């Protein structure tokens, strides 16, 4: 600002597509950019392009509520998300870019004895896998978040909680920008306003993509388009076990610090945190019908706000300044899909539902391995597309509703 917003150096090059790349990644969100970064950094590949139909980070990466945690219930998810959480803790140093990772604690509230049993089970499962989890009494919850309505007459009485203290939030845009700059510094081409509209086939293999900037050849192609997974895979004749749904969020005007952790309620599917600018960020359930509209139904947001105000009545004094939404690809078992597709040279990273931001580093790391070697990384092996045929699903949704 001191130089009048002039003379800024672009953080990555604006390039024209080449005629051929060893690897093309479709989708310039955090996952696609992280994949490109680790392909270059870890696997030494250089002839890589990321094709983005809009602008990088303009999809769910720039629309999410920034919650980062690894407090899942099932082992394959523990392994993947915990690996990611460890990468988060060092990500600003790794990228030399401040992603503002803030491990302020991610806390689930329990509203009944049954909730508390489920939280205790989840905490036990996490600790068995070496992940930190502390079951909290009512008093401990009240001490951490004094503005919660802890009265016995509260609409949603609070019986206790489960906290992962290493969880928290990160600046979503910075994650996209940091990975983009890092990938660019290794020579990765980041091509914006370049929509993939079809695949070039030779027999049973993909050998390139058709785009709004022309045909581009590729050795391997990785789909990484979140809510558009079903659509893009459909261009290759695949029907995925995902449904695209809208997920909304909102933020209030900025205020002094009043929410100390990330507060999530499993039973309500409502979550609240405070951004570093001071705004209170709210989120809730997806609009539970298929849609590609990046605009949600007010009724759903109203429900989440009503729950949030019941939990923290002081929030009722704040003005909402913005609400927005993104298109999420809801998989049928609530877990992501990372790996091969039945089409040779075509790979898929999707099905992240409403919780893939936190996985960005792990998703990029493991997908890069798969794209570089043509085989699964041990951490993404359980998340194959094939599991929906063999029945080896990873049914996190069956363990209870999960906030972001």
Contact range with ligand FAD by CB under 6 A, out of 15-23, 40-48, 59-67, 306-314? 59-67
Helices and strands per DSSP (H, E), number in the chain:
10, 18
Q: In terms of Cα–Cα distance, which of 272, 311, 269 is closest to 286?
A: 269
Q: Considering only residues 25, 26, 116, 158, which one is a binding residue for ligand FAD as defined by CB under 6 A?
A: 26
User: Is 228 near ligand FAD (CB under 6 A)?
Assistant: yes
Q: How far is the CB of 354 from ligand FAD (least distance, A)?
A: 5
- At 23, which helix (H) or strand (E)? strand 20-26
- At 70, which helix (H) or strand (E)? none
User: Is 357 near ligand FAD (CB under 6 A)?
Assistant: yes
Measured from the CB atom, the residue of 53 and 78 that comes closer to ligand FAD is: 53
Residue-wise DSSP of 30-55: HHHHHHHHHHHHTT----EEEE-SS-
Distance CA(250)–CA(273), nearest Å, equals 11
User: Is 27 near ligand FAD (CB under 6 A)?
Assistant: yes
CB atoms within 10 A of CB 137: 12
Contact range with ligand FAD by CB under 6 A, out of 121-129, 325-333, 377-385, 392-400? 325-333
User: Is 30 near ligand FAD (CB under 6 A)?
Assistant: yes
Query: Which residue's structure tokens are 């060893």?
Result: 22
Distance CA(61)–CA(317), nearest Å, equals 29
C-alpha gyration radius of the chain: 21
User: Is 195 near ligand FAD (CB under 6 A)?
Assistant: yes
User: Is 63 near ligand FAD (CB under 6 A)?
Assistant: yes
Q: How far is the CB of 117 from ligand FAD (least distance, A)?
A: 25
User: Is 58 near ligand FAD (CB under 6 A)?
Assistant: yes
Measured from the CB atom, the residue of 51 and 371 that comes closer to ligand FAD is: 51
User: Is 54 near ligand FAD (CB under 6 A)?
Assistant: yes
Relative to beta strand 20-26, strand 134-136 is: unpaired
| Interface map 237-276 toward ligand FAD (x if CB under 6 A) | ----------xxx---------------------------
Q: In terms of Cα–Cα distance, which of 89, 68, 59, 75 is closest to 292?
A: 59
Q: Considering only residues 21, 49, 52, 163, which one is a binding residue for ligand FAD as defined by CB under 6 A?
A: 52
Q: How far is the CB of 51 from ligand FAD (least distance, A)?
A: 5
Look up residue 291 and give its DSSP letter.
-
Tokens representing residue 194 in the block: 């370049």
Strand partners, 399: none
User: Is 28 near ligand FAD (CB under 6 A)?
Assistant: yes
> Which residues of the shown chain bind ligand FAD in the complex (CB under 6 A)?
26-32, 51-54, 58-61, 63-67, 195-196, 224-226, 228, 232, 247-249, 283, 325-326, 328, 352, 354-358, 404
């Amino acid at each position: 600002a001191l130089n009048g917003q002039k003379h800024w150096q672009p953080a990555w090059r604006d390039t024209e597509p080449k005629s051929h790349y060893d690897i093309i990644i479709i989708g310039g969100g955090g996952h696609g950019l992280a994949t490109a970064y680790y392909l270059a950094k870890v696997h030494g590949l250089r002839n890589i392009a990321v094709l983005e139909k809009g602008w990088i980070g303009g999809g769910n990466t720039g629309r999410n509520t920034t919650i980062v945690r690894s407090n899942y219930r099932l082992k394959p998810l523990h392994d993947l998300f915990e690996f990611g959480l460890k990468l988060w803790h060092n990500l600003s140093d790794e990228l030399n870019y401040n992603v503002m990772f803030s491990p302020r604690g991610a806390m689930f509230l329990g509203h009944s004895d049954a909730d508390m049993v489920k939280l205790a089970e989840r905490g036990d499962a996490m600790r068995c896998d070496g992940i930190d989890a502390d079951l909290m009494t009512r008093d401990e919850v009240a001490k951490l978040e004094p503005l919660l309505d802890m009265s016995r007459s509260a609409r949603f009485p609070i019986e206790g909680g489960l906290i992962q203290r290493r969880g928290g939030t990160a600046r979503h845009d910075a994650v996209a920008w940091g990975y983009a700059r890092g990938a660019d510094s290794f020579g990765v081409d980041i091509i914006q306003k370049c929509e993939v509209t079809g695949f070039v086939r030779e027999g049973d293999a993909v050998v390139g993509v058709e785009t709004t900037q022309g045909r581009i050849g590729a050795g391997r192609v990785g789909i990484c388009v979140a809510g558009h997974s079903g659509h893009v895979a459909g261009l290759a004749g695949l029907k995925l076990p995902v449904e695209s749904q809208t997920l909304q969020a909102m933020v209030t005007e900025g205020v002094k610090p009043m929410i100390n952790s990330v507060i999530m309620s499993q039973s309500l599917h409502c979550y609240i945190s405070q951004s570093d600018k001071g705004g209170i960020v709210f989120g809730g359930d997806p609009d539970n019908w298929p849609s590609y509209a990046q605009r949600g139904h007010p009724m759903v947001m109203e429900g989440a706000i009503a729950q949030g105000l019941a939990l923290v009545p002081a929030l009722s004094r704040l003005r909402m300044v913005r609400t927005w939404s993104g298109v999420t690809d809801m998989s049928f078992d609530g877990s992501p899909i990372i790996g091969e597709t039945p089409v040779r040279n075509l790979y898929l990273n999707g099905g992240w539902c409403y919780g893939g931001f936190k996985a960005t580093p792990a998703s990029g790391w493991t997908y890069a391995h798969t794209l570089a070697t043509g085989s699964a990384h041990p951490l993404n092996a359980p998340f194959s597309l094939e599991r929906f045929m063999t029945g080896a699903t990873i049914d996190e949704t069956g363990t209870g509703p999960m906030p972001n």
